[in-house]
């Protein structure tokens, strides 16, 4: 079973430990911290269906960021990745289109995430 991470724990973790943090663990940590700081949180879990060809068919736009956060007139859309995770071309396009409202967050960004959500 994976270790239950919090953002403060991630901020203090070694690079070796951060390599083992899953995207799911990061999402749980970010969502919990954001809610604690008064943000409204929507986490886009993979939804859709498996096609007859065995390929996943998502229900939303391809590449849309995983997390939508809103608080006091502010909105952020964040793509969550592991330390080694790569953005797809569609994810890159979404983040570019979102400009200042888009974020790419990895476990190593925990301190910056806390600073951004706590402001």
**Predicted model pTM:** 0.86
Res 62: pLDDT: 86
Domain assignments of the chain as residue spans, ordered by start: 19-42+62-118
Secondary structure of residue 37 in the 3-state scheme = coil
CATH topology of domain 19-42+62-118: Trna Endonuclease; Chain: A, domain 1 (3.40.1350)
**pLDDT tops 80 at residue 45:** no
Q: Which residues contact 105 (CB under 8 A, 6 or more apart)?
A: 26, 30, 78, 79, 80, 81, 113
Q: What is the pLDDT of residues 84-107, one digit of tens each?
A: 999 999 999 999 999 999 999 999
User: How would you classify residue 43: left for phi > 0, otherwise alpha for psi between -120 and 50, otherwise beta?
Assistant: beta
Categorize the per-residue pLDDT at 3 as very low, low, confident or very high, splitting at 50, 70 and 90. confident
Write out pLDDT tens, residues 48-64: 556 677 766 666 788 89
Is residue 11 within 8 A of residue 22, CB to CB? The reply is no
What is the model's pLDDT at position 119?
Answer: 61
């Amino acid at each position: 079973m994976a270790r239950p991470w919090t953002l403060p724990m991630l901020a203090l973790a070694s690079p070796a430990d951060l390599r083992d943090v899953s995207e799911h663990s990061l999402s749980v940590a970010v969502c919990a911290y954001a809610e604690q700081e008064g943000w409204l949180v929507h986490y886009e879990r993979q939804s859709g269906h498996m096609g007859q060809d065995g390929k996943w068919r998502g229900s939303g736009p391809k590449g849309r960021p995983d997390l939508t956060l809103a608080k006091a007139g502010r909105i952020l859309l964040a793509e969550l990745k592991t330390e080694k995770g790569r953005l797809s071309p569609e994810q890159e396009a979404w983040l570019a289109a979102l400009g200042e409202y888009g974020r790419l967050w990895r476990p190593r960004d925990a301190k910056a995430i806390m600073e951004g959500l706590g402001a």
